[in-house]
């Protein structure tokens, strides 16, 4: 009965009448109403919903500038009202407003999916890497370190992966890439894997990818890693270290100070020449090397002996951001060949800079002055057992400080250590 009443009288308004209508509600029949206001007119469909509520659904404005515009508006309004009436007569009946809202939500979802798809295709691996670099790497590293971080990825990740949407990069593609570079440059491969692991972890948090496929490759790459024969660097026998350091201190120049600092800290060449003052805590006599600059990828703390602090005080007067700047330009750090050149000038072609780490290790182990795990911690050798490694980093601070202090005294010739000293003593 309600439906028959709803559709009994329709199409009551003419174009001419609409042009002349005054303020108020004017029925076209079948629930369609033209609501004329002072400055505009709108079509409204009034109906009783399936739940029994009286509702009004807006059908858009009515432009009354001329007969043509009124005729088009009237035709569209009647068509929309017809569709709404059909919904009310279906079994079960549908509410036109609810159906319109549902359709809008579906359309918005489709549009959002299309937008997300377009965005995903624009989010290439390279773009995601650069975004991560800008947000997290640049703020915490020096300009040079930051450039090396991104430069290694740009150089070694092949364009077919770098320019591919990150969501389309497959686990197998990354595995093949890592295995290839691992077979040629093991250390570089490890650094690149760690960096991409960070990028994918952040991309997972931000919803760009669903999971970190780089992390899932970690164990597989470790199992397939082929260890290369260890090349032992020519080193100085530890009983000769004091005799070597005495003339070294008489050598002028930054390279000589850097080499002595390397000896005192048992550091690698790259760690020393790349040191910046932001890593040095002069008050606490600590040198904290960020994991990004370490071979093992983990932050390493070096406890500085008094002589090492003296060297740093000298270097501080230069006013460079680098602890050991290049003699040619304080804007650059010391060349990695400078200390080797110094050794040649001192007529010591029989040893290498890296060999002094072996000198320290041999002295510490053969004298029994400290436990092997403390010695390894001073050398920043990576511990395979992660739980043990975490304990080592947390618990060996005093032992490592004491070991490097006694090493500095031995280097100066002021502390004679008994060979194979008993640990019990």
Taking the C-alpha atoms of residue 213 and residue 230, their distance in angstroms, rounded to an integer, is 31
Q: Which domain holds residue 41?
A: 2-94
- Residue 388, pLDDT above cutoff 90: no
Say yes or no: 373 and 315 in one domain.
Answer: yes
Say yes or no: 191 and 293 in one domain.
Answer: no
pLDDT range class, residue 421, cuts 50, 70, 90: very low
pLDDT range class, residue 62, cuts 50, 70, 90: very high
Do the Cβ atoms of 31 and 81 come closer than 8 Å? yes
* φ and ψ at residue 353, rounded to 5 degrees: -65, -45
Q: Between 308 and 234, whose confidence is greater?
A: 308
Do the Cβ atoms of 295 and 380 come closer than 8 Å? yes
Using alpha carbons, list the distances in angstroms from residue 354 to 153, 239, 265, 273, 381: 27, 17, 12, 13, 14
Element (H, E) at 377: helix 372-378
Say yes or no: 251 and 180 in one domain.
Answer: no
Averaged pLDDT, 162-174: 92
- Residue 251, pLDDT above cutoff 80: yes
pLDDT at 140: 84
pTM metric for this prediction:
0.50
Q: Between 89 and 227, whose confidence is greater?
A: 89
Convert the pLDDT of each residue in 331-367 to its tens digit.
899 998 999 999 999 999 889 998 999 999 999 888 8
Q: Output the average pLDDT for the chain.
A: 86
pLDDT range class, residue 383, cuts 50, 70, 90: low
Say yes or no: 86 and 131 in one domain.
Answer: no
Look at 20-29, 73-82, 255-264, 389-398 and tell me which has the smallest mean pLDDT: 389-398
Continuous H helices in 90-185? 96-122, 125-132, 143-156, 159-162, 171-184
- Residue 418, pLDDT above cutoff 60: no
Question: Which of 86, 64, 87 minimizes the C-alpha distance to 74?
Answer: 64
- Residue 385, pLDDT above cutoff 70: no
Q: Between 121 and 21, whose confidence is greater?
A: 21
CATH number of the domain within which 390 lies? 1.10.443.10
pLDDT at 119: 62
Say yes or no: 85 and 187 in one domain.
Answer: no
- Residue 185, pLDDT above cutoff 70: yes
The proportion of the chain whose per-residue pLDDT surpasses 70, expressed as a percent, equals 88
Say yes or no: 216 and 346 in one domain.
Answer: no
Say yes or no: 205 and 245 in one domain.
Answer: no
Averaged pLDDT, 372-385: 76
Say yes or no: 149 and 73 in one domain.
Answer: no
Q: Between 308 and 182, whose confidence is greater?
A: 308
Say yes or no: 218 and 242 in one domain.
Answer: no
Say yes or no: 212 and 251 in one domain.
Answer: no
Convert the pLDDT of each residue in 253-265 to its tens digit.
999 999 999 999 9
Question: Which of 11, 34, 12 minimizes the C-alpha distance to 23?
Answer: 34
pLDDT at 4: 42
Convert the pLDDT of each residue in 214-233 to its tens digit.
998 887 787 665 544 445 56
> What total of structural domains would you count in the chain?
3
């Amino acid at each position: 009965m309600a439906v028959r009443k709803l559709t009994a009288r329709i199409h009551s308004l003419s174009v001419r009448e609409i042009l002349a209508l005054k303020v108020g509600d004017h029925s076209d029949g079948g629930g369609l109403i033209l609501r004329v206001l002072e400055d505009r007119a709108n079509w409204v469909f009034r109906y009783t919903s399936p739940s029994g509520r009286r509702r009004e659904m807006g059908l858009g404005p009515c432009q009354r500038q001329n007969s043509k515009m009124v005729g088009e508006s009237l035709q569209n309004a009647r068509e929309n009202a017809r569709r709404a009436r059909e919904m009310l007569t279906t079994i079960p009946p549908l509410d036109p407003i609810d159906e319109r809202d549902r359709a809008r939500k579906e359309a918005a979802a489709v549009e959002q999916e299309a937008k997300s798809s377009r965005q995903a295709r624009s989010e290439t691996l390279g773009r995601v890497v650069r975004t991560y670099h800008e947000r997290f790497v640049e703020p915490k590293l020096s300009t040079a370190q930051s450039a090396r971080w991104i430069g290694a990825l740009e150089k070694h990740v092949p364009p077919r992966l770098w320019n591919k949407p990150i969501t389309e990069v497959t686990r197998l593609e990354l595995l093949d890439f890592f295995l290839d570079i691992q077979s040629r440059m093991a250390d570089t491969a490890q650094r690149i894997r760690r960096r991409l692991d960070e990028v994918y972890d952040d991309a997972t948090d931000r919803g760009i990818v669903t999971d970190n496929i780089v992390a899932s490759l970690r164990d597989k790459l470790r199992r397939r890693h082929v260890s290369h024969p260890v090349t032992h660097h020519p080193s100085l026998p530890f009983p000769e270290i004091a005799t070597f350091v005495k003339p070294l201190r008489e050598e002028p120049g930054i390279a000589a100070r850097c080499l002595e600092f390397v000896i005192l800290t048992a550091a690698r060449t790259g760690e020393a020449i790349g040191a910046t003052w932001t890593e040095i805590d002069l008050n606490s006599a600590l040198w904290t090397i960020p994991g990004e600059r370490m071979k093992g990828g983990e932050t390493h703390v070096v406890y500085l002996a008094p002589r090492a602090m003296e060297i740093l005080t000298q270097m501080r007067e230069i006013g460079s951001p680098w602890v050991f700047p290049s003699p040619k330009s304080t804007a650059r750090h010391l060349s990695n060949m400078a200390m080797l050149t110094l050794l040649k000038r001192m007529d010591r072609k029989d040893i290498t800079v890296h060999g002094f780490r072996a000198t320290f290790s041999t002295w510490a182990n053969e004298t029994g002055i400290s436990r092997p795990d403390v010695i390894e911690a001073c050398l920043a050798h990576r511990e395979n057992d992660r739980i043990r490694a975490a304990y080592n980093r947390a618990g060996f601070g005093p032992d490592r400080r004491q070991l490097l202090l006694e090493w500095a005294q031995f280097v100066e010739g002021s502390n004679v250590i008994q060979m194979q000293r008993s640990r019990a003593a």
